[in-house]
Structure 1
Amino acid sequence: MPSSTSSSDPGSAPKGIVEREGALPAGLRLTASDRPGQAQPVPTRDVPAQPWGRIALGVLAALVVGGIALEVNARERIGLHAGDLDNSEISWSNEKIRAAGAPVAIVGDSRILFDTDLDRFEALTGVRPIQLAIHGTSALTLLEDMADDKDFNGLLIVGLADTMFFQPFDGYGGYVKKWHEFRAPYRVVSNEIDHMLQRHLAFLDSNYRLSVLAHRLDDDFRPGVEGPKDDIWKLQEVGEHRATYLWDRVEYDPAWRARTRWAWKGFKDPFPYTPDLIAKGHARAKAAVDKIRTRGGDVIFVRPPRRQNCA
């Protein structure tokens, strides 16, 4: 028998409202404490009639207008371009997979990453190399990584920057290689979706996400602790398969160029490269080269020029 307090009592619903199990009179929402000892259906609220079609169109129009505004701001005011793909850890991992059986691959730091024109290389040689250089990374650790890859037996071009090659730590490349060891499926899918959209939309640049821009506004750091304003901000544009080149704003915007040079101050302190450290580096490099040559590959060392007029 229905309870006298139950919303299922006949006639309890106001006129014009179809009563459902668990439905409550307009403006009333009962809880379990109102019906002790009784099983409680999940209460439901009556949804008032609304012009849902017009609301949906309004939301869609707002999204379109907002997207256009963001895209115009990105291209006209910031100088971003569609087709600039994020150089993510997964992007490097994808190229590492492609390097298996490739005739030519490139490893090194930011110098050979920026100084290699993949299109020009292909036009001159008929072969498009796999770009595996990583900024802020010792080429030695990447050389050893390729030496341990038994699927690679081609020509490896090693970008040799003396200030990076003999450093006793991997740098950013050590972090990137960990991503390659565990390729989380959601990261791979997310990277593909990002690149698909970034080929057409400039405002999706990861350097200008709202979370990144908001973080740069925070000056609340302890004295002597570098914050986001000390970081190197956007410096590069990246095409398909990690073809990397200098962002043109660094060239035409004196203020941005000066800020980029200032942020590079952390690389100006000389590292104590002792004879013992260099000897260990030579031994590691020789062992890695021997591994590659033993299985039919070869290694070439190239020292890209150091440009004094840019960061």
Structure 2
Amino acid sequence: MNLKQSIIIAAILGIVSIAAWELYWRSQGYFPDMDDDKYLWAATRAKVDIATENDVVLVGSSRVLFNIQLDKWNELTGITPIQLANAGSTPLPVFHDIVENTDFNGTVVVGVTPPLFFSTTFEQAPPWTRASSRSDFYENRTYAQRLNYQLSIPLQKSLAFISNDDEAWYDDLNLKALLNTIELPNRTGKPQDPPFRRFQDIDDRRNVRMKERMVTDTAFANSIKAVWKSMLTSEPKPPPPDKEGTIAFFLKDAEKFQARGGKIILLRSPSDGFFADLENMAFARNDFWEELVKKANVPAYHYQDYEGLNGFQTIEWSHLSATDADLFTENFVNILLKDKIITNLKTN
């Protein structure tokens, strides 16, 4: 067999293997979508460098990711927000990055999830590094990394088995995730963490929507609740909140941002059940939210105070379904327009 025949056979076998692998995973309910990784975040962060005073940037944790829908915001205002929220993180490092490393003087919506916003300013703590590491990557990424990401986009949008999300999802399709599905004997006797399955989809603008399965499959939704409960009740316990430090850090950046014409909006999204009980007990509204609002002296919206924001039931104690997120965004934007906090470019 000559070299040419070997190459042709190898190419055919490779194509057939890839096609079979792709078809198998599609038969299991997977479909192509983007990975919420540092590369996608950095590409989105780059938009802030050219944003105008009419633009809106979203920072916060996963509630901002799930609950604010970019298309709905654009439909009502003519503006598509820049989504820079990060799951499981405080918004403080990203807001600090915007204040210190850009000239942006538009509007920043800051999501306030109490256990995360008031958690820490310690730069090595997980709620901080989950966000700051992405800002650092944006500042230091190489041209090769930028090109690699651009080349990956068509593959991510075409192939379901392309999966390299920063989150360690139990049901991802990369080799590490697949190996983790192999059940091994528990030799330590310690309780094993429940599997954390991916329960959202994301597009190339970082618009996140909860999977419909969360609404239709109670067992699947309960598996996410089990993860939250395990995270918040297992050892070691997280350190106590740093209310004074986090508020002081935020106020310093807020003052600098407002001095150059920027506007800030605080948003407290809905929570229920176990999360709401925890937040009410450890982060009482009067002691945390109200103090932040008073000291910041910026427009602030707590879901409990508005009929259009408080009528929603979160699916797994913390996030809204895709349908409810559309309505939540619509109601929130209409409140902001009514209060003349933001502008509708479609009519101005």
Same fold (TM over 0.5): yes
5+ long unaligned stretches in structure 2: 165-171, 272-312, 318-348
Match for residue 75 of structure 2 among 105, 123, 136: 123
Using the TM superposition, give the Cα deviation of residue 213 of structure 1 relative to its aligned residue in structure 2, in angstroms.
0.8
Partner residue in 1 for 2:158: 200
Aligned residue type for 1:67:
I
Match of 1:278 among 239, 243, 248: 243
1:256 to partner: Cα distance: 3.6
Percent identical across equivalent pairs? Answer: 25
Does structure 1 residue 71 correspond to structure 2 residue 22?
A: yes
Counterpart among 291, 300, 308 of residue 256 in structure 2: 291
Answer with 1 or 2: which has the greater Rg.
1
Structure 1-normalised TM-score?
Answer: 0.73
The root-mean-square deviation of aligned C-alpha atoms, in Å, is 2.6
**Aligned residue identity for 1:174:** S
Per-residue CA deviation, residues 51-96 of structure 1 (Å, 9 max, x unaligned), is: 544443332332222222222222221x2222x1111112111211
Q: Which letter maps to 2:136?
A: K
**Inter-partner Cα distance in structure 2 for 1:89 and 1:221:** 33
**Alpha-carbon separation, structure 2, partners of 1:81 and 1:214:** 21
Could you tell me how far apart the structure 2 residues matched to 1:57 and 1:271 are?
Answer: 57
- Alpha-carbon distance between aligned partners in 2 of 1:280 and 1:218, rounded to the nearest angstrom: 43
Between the aligned partners of 2:155 and 2:270, the Cα distance in structure 1 is 35
Q: SS of the residue aligned with 2:103?
A: coil
Equivalent position SS for 1:199? helix
Structure 2: distance between partners of 1:59 and 1:267: 47
CA spacing shift, 1:167–1:226, aligned 2, 3 Å: farther
Q: So what's the TM-score if we normalise by structure 2?
A: 0.66
The question of 1:183 aligning with 2:160 is answered no
- 2-structure distance, mates of 1:56, 1:131: 45
1:80 aligns with 2:30: yes
- The structure-2 alpha-carbon separation of the partners of 1:147 and 1:225, relative to structure 1 and needing over 3 Å to count, comes to farther
Bigger mean CA offset, 179-188 vs 191-200: 179-188
Alpha-carbon contact 1:138-1:171 (below 8 Å) kept: no
Contact 1:232-1:264 within 8 A present in 2 as well: no
Match of 1:162 among 101, 104, 114: 114
Matches of 2:129 and 2:254, distance apart in 1: 21
Q: Which residue of 2 aligns with 1:264?
A: 228
Give the deviation of 1:288 after TM superposition: 1.4
Paired residue secondary structure (2:108)? strand
- Contact in 1 for aligned 2:106/2:261 (Cα 8 Å): yes
Code of the residue aligned with 2:70 in structure 1: it is L
- AA at the equivalent of 2:202: V
Question: Which stretch of structure 1 is more off in the superposition, 140-149 or 216-225?
Answer: 216-225
Identify the residue that residue 27 of structure 1 maps to in structure 2. none
Equivalent pairs, count = 257
Tell me whether 1:143 sits opposite 2:95 in the alignment.
yes
Deviation digits for residues 235-278 of structure 1, max 9, x if unmatched? 3211022111223344444444333322223443485656xx21
Return the alpha-carbon distance in structure 1 between the equivalents of residues 65 and 2 of structure 2. 55
Q: Which is bigger in relative contact order (C-alpha 8 A, separation at least 6)?
A: 2
The letter of the residue matching 1:285 is F
Q: Select which of 107, 111, 131 maps to 1:173.
A: 131
Residue pair 1:101, 1:153 contacting (<8 A) in 2 also: no
**Residues 252 and 204 of structure 1, relative CA distance in 2, 3 Å threshold:** farther
Q: Paired residue for 2:13, among 41, 62, 78?
A: 62
Q: How do residues 207-286 of structure 1 correspond to structure 2 at under 5 angstroms?
A: 207-217=172-182, 219=184, 223=188, 230=194, 232-269=196-233, 273=240, 277-286=242-251
Distance 1:52 1:254 in 2: 56
Matched-pair contact (CA < 8 Å) for 2:195–2:223: no
